[in-house]
Chain A
Amino acid sequence: MSWQNVLQVLALVLLLGVTVPPLGRYMAAVFGSRSDGTAPGDRVFNPIERVLYRVFGVDSKREQRWNVYALSVLAFTLVSLLGLYVLLRTQGSLPFNPTDRGSLQPTGAFNAAVSFVTNTNWQWFSGEVAISHLTQMLGFAVQNFVSAAVGLATVIALIRGITRSGTRHLGNFWVDLTRGVVRILLPLSLVAAVMLMSQGVVQNFNGHTAATTIDASSGVAEQLIPGGPVASQEAIKELGTNGGGYYNANSSHPFESPNGFTNFMQVFMLLLIPLSLVVTFGVMVNDRRQSRLLIGVMAGILVLFTGTTMLAEQAGNPRVAAMHIDQSLSGVQSGGNMEGKEVRFGTSGCGLYAGSTTGTSTGAVSCMHDSFTPIGGLMPMLHMMLGEISPGGVGVGLSGVLILALLSVFIAGLMVGRTPEYLGKKIQASEMKLVTLYILAMPFALLTFAAASVVLESANTFQSGPHGLSEVLYNFASTANNNGSAFAYQGTGTQWYTITQGISMLMGRFLLMIPVLAIGGSLAAKPKVPATAGTMPTHNALFGALLAGVIVIVAGLTFFPALALGPILEHLSL
């Protein structure tokens, strides 16, 4: 890494340090942390929201129990899913389709609809080849917003469960959804879209523009230059930790990310809300030390994984070096393993992106992960397998780390023989059963389908050798964690993969989200017990180490055997 690369990372830390606390406090106010219920911008937003509630036909004052809250989430998701499915199935006969894209087949449309509704944005297809401008706008962009807002709403409901006592109510889903979109995601996206456009990200409604190429002797006389409302999509793609690229190459495409500044900003955008939410949590539970501890654990994991990827990619591919290819860093090249990477980002910009996109549940990429060195590729894969809690997707990341915190206090409680408590709430059998379901659902959705794919002859669409196993593992890790990035050599447009990966995305979303809401409901009903000398503090380094240990050990025990035969074996055979 050059000194500029180090400065780039420090600049990111600094920018996040300046923006995360105020945004976190703002979001806390949006979700009712102030005693009088007011929030900045009420004068502008309140009238808009009142109109929306009237159209929806909901009483914004009426709160919901956890099960009604969950049913609202499911109803909203079902309607979204059906709407997007119909759009994908019929886009070929709908207007606003200048590139003349046809409709998708049933299983492909199912997979794509599930993918965007669950905030995964897994794409078995290539954006510019398969999707019309209309579907991008009415379908994908809309789901980018609302699927993030659903994640946001559910973690707020969980936090309310922790802060309230003696009630069964967790808030109103329709209110939380609306405020998340109108007051947080939409204004931030508009600003981000303008910023991206100023750098050269395209925003138009054109189809392809035919260009007469400069070197006529190259054999290519014409180049089709793509169009589309890209910047508006790009903004929420990062801010909502969605990750679905307008174009196949995602943020390595020059029209999605034209320079080093946009690459940097996109990394910032995808970390911004997940980190700010931890501050929101601290404000809402009225204990900032809790958020500092959680941010510390998240940042520690994020830095470790991102840094390792950057170093591994900068070290390059020894097989390539053996051919007398220069992979060294110097004043005239950034060097490293450049297969699948852009000159303008280099291995550092790419590694920074790869770590951040898999630590959040984004899945956007600014370089091709499938072409990483074995260790460079192991890091993002394992980062997802940790459950995406460093800092995780919008809402779902904080939910995940809070669940793991409950598991940690439970384990600590077992060790010292006391009833575990977290922030004044006793953690008992009913919560622990739900925590167990949460912890087991993702590995189940990942490993069972991956195992079946490896033995099924017809599912063999991957490269040969240990790298093939890495591809299957990575891709199911991505769908089961609602990430969306891919080891993209593997063809996943077959019926087997569109169906199984669609199911694993649904499991990874709702078998986690529903237990979270149930835990929130269970905690809300409990009285707050005052802290005593015997209460284990959950804001000190000891608890931080315990939490990090639980995160690593749970994932390590689950996935190490499979990883040993994939990326680790591949590394040993370099």
Chain B
Amino acid sequence: MRAFIRQLRPALMAVVVFTLLLGVAYPLVSTLIGQVAFGDKADGSLIVRDGVVVGSEFIGQTFTAPEYFHSRPSAAGAGYDGSASSGSNDGPLNEDFLAAVQERADAYRTENGLDDAVAVPVDAVTASGSGLDPHISIANAHLQAQRVADARGLSLDEVLAMVEDHTDGRSLGVLGEPGVNVVLLNIALDDLTK
């Protein structure tokens, strides 16, 4: 016991010193570097239009109007709640989950005027892990393109070209998967038809 008590003094001092070094100095230095070298990114890659913050390029949003590309289903709060990231965590056999997938697939087909023969891309009917996924698959975007074109009075080709412009490829060509950034794409569409 006495041997243990003898170790408490270095223990206490070590916790205090490491708290100052790792809990204060390290995040402060990191923040300083981040703010100087990558200011906008360190602040969350915010999108500002006419002086108003309208979102972040990395954080998805809910879109329901037909002239917008629609994001994936989201389990973050009431949907794309940036203050409550979350997946559904439903198991693969969860009845509620399977019913929700069916419902989303039906709604997706109705919305986009697709008949039952068209297979719905899986990302369109499943919630992401974060609930904030800013991307949809290219397949998903292609199936929504006609609806968006009709609602905006654009040609399908114009809309598809916009989709391609806002498709993020794999990092360095091989890392991760490509996806269409819905937030940036919808903003660009608004700019085009304003």
Contacts and interface: CB of A to CB of B under 8 A. Distances in A.
B186 interface: yes
Given A206-B43, A374-B92, A341 B129 contact: yes
Interface stretch (A54-62, A499-507, A548-556): A54-62
B157 interface: no
Interface string A538-566: 00000000000000000000000000000
Contact of A253 (B13, B19, B85): B85
B30 A194 contact: yes
Given A128-B83, A343-B128, A141 B27 contact: yes
A261 interface: yes
Interface stretch (A329-337, A398-406, A432-440): A329-337
A35 B38 CA distance: 44
Contacts of B65: 215, 217-218
Given A72-B11, A225-B59, A339 B97 contact: yes
Interface in B17-59: 17-19, 21-24, 26-27, 29-31, 33-35, 37-38, 41-46, 52-56, 58-59
Contact of A56 (B14, B22, B140): B14
A258 B72 CA distance: 17
A260 B170 contact: yes
Nearest to B17: A55
Nearest to A199: B41
Interface string A309-347: 000000011011001111100111111111111111110
Interface in A485-504: 487-489
Contacts of B4: 71, 74-75
A35 to B, nearest CB: 28
B93 interface: yes
A334 B137 contact: yes
A209 B44 contact: yes
B68 A254 contact: no
A452 interface: no
Nearest to A262: B171
Nearest to B133: A342
Contacts of A174: 10, 14
Contacts, number: 420
Contacts of A411: none
A523 B97 CA distance: 55
Interface stretch (A36-44, A185-193, A295-303): A185-193
A343 B24 CA distance: 35
Interface string A338-381: 11111111101110000000000000011110111110000000
A344 B122 contact: no
B55 A79 contact: no
A137 interface: yes
A144 B182 CA distance: 35
A137 B18 CA distance: 12
B173 interface: yes
Interface residues of A, number: 134
A56 to B, nearest CB: 4
Given A200-B41, A260-B170, A323-B105, A186 B22 contact: yes
B32 to A, nearest CB: 9
Contacts of B146: none
B58 A254 contact: yes
Contacts of A202: 41-44
Contacts of B101: 320, 323, 325
Interface in B136-194: 136-140, 142, 168, 170-177, 179, 183, 186-187, 190
A227 interface: yes
B89 A223 contact: no
A8 interface: yes
A80 interface: yes
A240 to B, nearest CB: 11
B84 A215 contact: no
A78 B61 CA distance: 44
B15 A79 contact: yes
9 contacts: A56-B9, A126-B84, A142-B23, A146-B15, A214-B63, A232-B30, A261-B171, A325-B101, A340-B129
Ranked 4 nearest A-B pairs via Cβ: A260-B176, A252-B129, A261-B171, A346-B177
Given A76-B11, A325-B121, A371-B91, 4 more contacts: A325-B122, A327-B122, A333-B121, A370-B87
